[in-house]
Every structure is written in structure tokens, then in C-alpha cells.
Amino acid sequence: MAHNDSFDEPRFEALYRKLYPDLLRCAEIALRTGGSWYVSVAGRAEEVVQELFAFAWEHQADLWSSASPTGWLYRVLRYKVLELLKEDRFWRKHLIRAAGEMPASPEDDFQQRAEITSILTPEEDELLATTPADELLKLDMLQPGNIRDTLHAYQMAKRCNVKRVMAESVKWGERGARINSISPGIIVTPLALDEFNGPRGGFYKNMFAKCPAGRPGTADEVANVAELLMGSKGAFITGADFLTDGGATASYFYGPLRPRE
């Protein structure tokens, strides 16, 4: 049972101000020496320390009842860093291989996305955006003879989603509501793990290595975007699609994932 004085905001703030710089420095050193493969180790260290203090805030009874609150924080930080490095080693082992084992260029996914974006006319985009949902499959561009394969169908569906969010945001704005969408890239899920180790695994591994983030995403990171959009801090955002893919699409257009001529 926590004491009534477990939540001691002034004391907690004083501890935060005193220890934050040293905890941040220790976290960054531990991540670097432990071989973390995050692009920004300093940024990841800051996230870990922030998570540490958020955890400490919720567990102040344990913090203040310990013989040394400072020691308690360092022990929890060590645990968090070790868990993160364990996760890093898993992905390094199972997803990233030597560059020689990776394909020289990505498959057709990004190429097809770029083609759809550039080939569709403004009129076709408007049809995708405004046609009643129960009439969408009657559109000529969506007839089976005009869809090359399942990937083409998927990319058309994504394009339709983006355009419909824009159109619907206008209608729902009249009711005081906002509508946005999130387009995740490769996110770590049980299904995705099967993909990583399946026939297309080489493509994914190549993409992870060559995108700015240098890794796949997590469900929590997608949830962070949703939290922004659905909260008061996102009150001025509507009719938008948020590409959350670690920069893979950007790398396709302007980086090492760009198709070779």
C-alpha cells in the first residue's frame, strides 16, 4: 500500500533536475558500447531516460521507499538499456545480413507506388475521393482487366484511402470532426516476422539497411502518431495522411533505394 505522501512532486522534480544529465550520459555510453544500431544513439538515449522517469513517476512508492532513490533509478536504467540492446541484437541477427547477401535494388513496391501517383489523372483521383463507397468497384480504373496484380490492387487501395480522407475531412469538418490516416511502413508484428524470413525477406532486409531510420518500425511508434492526431495537440491537423515508414519512401526517391538506371 502506497503512503499518502508517495507522490512528492517537488522532491521528484529536484531529483529529475539533479540526475537527468548523468543518467542521459550513462544511457548514451551504454548504448554505444553495447552496439546499438539506432541511427541516433543520443536521441534513443534521451527516449530511454524519459521513459525511465515516466516509470519512476508512476512508481514513486518504490522509489522513495528504497534505501537509495538514486541507486534505484540507475538500476532501472540499466535494466531498460539491457532490454533495448537485447532487442537490437535480435534484429541484427535475424533481419540484417552482410551487404553481399542483399539484392542490389528493391523490388517493385515503391516503383508501383510512384507510377500510380504520377499516372492517375486529377479526374481519376477525384473519382477515388468522392465516389460513394458502394459504387467504387464499378469505376473503370478498378475493373479486373485494369489491375495488373495484387500489388497494383493494394497500391490503388492505398491511393484511394489517402484521397478519400482528404474529401471526407471537408464533410466532417462541418460537424466539428477531424479525419486523418496513417500509412505505416514495415512494422514489426508476428505476420511481418514471417515476411522477413520468407521469399521476400531479402527485399525487406535491404530496405531496412538503406532507409534513414535503419530499422523496421514498432506498433508503439505508429500509436504515437495516432496519439498526436487524436489529441488536442493535433487539433489543427485534418485531411492528411501520415507516411510512417522510417524514410523508406524518401530513400526510394532521393537515396540509396532509388532504382538504378
* Tens of pLDDT, residues 124-173: 889 999 999 999 999 998 998 888 777 778 888 889 999 999 999 999 99
Q: Which residues contact 188 (CB under 8 A, 6 or more apart)?
A: 216, 217, 218, 219
Q: Pick the range with the lowest mean pLDDT from 22-36, 61-75, 105-119, 222-236.
A: 105-119
Rounded (10°) angle between helices 9-34 and 41-58: 140
Q: Decide if pLDDT at 89 tops 70.
A: no
Measuring CA to CA, how many Å separate 152 from each of 8, 46, 142? 57, 41, 10
Q: Decide if pLDDT at 174 tops 90.
A: yes
For the chain, the first-to-last Cα distance in angstroms comes to 67
* Tens of pLDDT, residues 64-83: 988 889 889 988 888 888 77
Pick the residue with more confidence: 19 or 33?
Answer: 19
Residue where the block lists cell 464533410: 171
Q: What is the pTM of this model?
A: 0.56
Pick the residue with more confidence: 118 or 171?
Answer: 171
pLDDT above 90 coverage of the chain, percent: 36
| Cα–Cα distance measured from residue 186 to residue 246, given in angstroms and rounded to the nearest whole number | 9
Report, as an integer, the average pLDDT of 201-214. 85
Q: Is 241 helix (H, G, I), strand (E, B) or coil?
A: strand
Number of alpha helices (DSSP H) and beta strands (DSSP E) in the chain: 11, 2
| Cα–Cα distance measured from residue 76 to residue 12, given in angstroms and rounded to the nearest whole number | 16
* pLDDT value at residue 2: 42
| Contact status, residue 104 vs residue 203, Cβ threshold 8 Å | no
Q: Which residues contact 222 (CB under 8 A, 6 or more apart)?
A: 182, 184, 187, 244
Q: Pick the range with the lowest mean pLDDT from 15-29, 116-130, 215-229.
A: 116-130
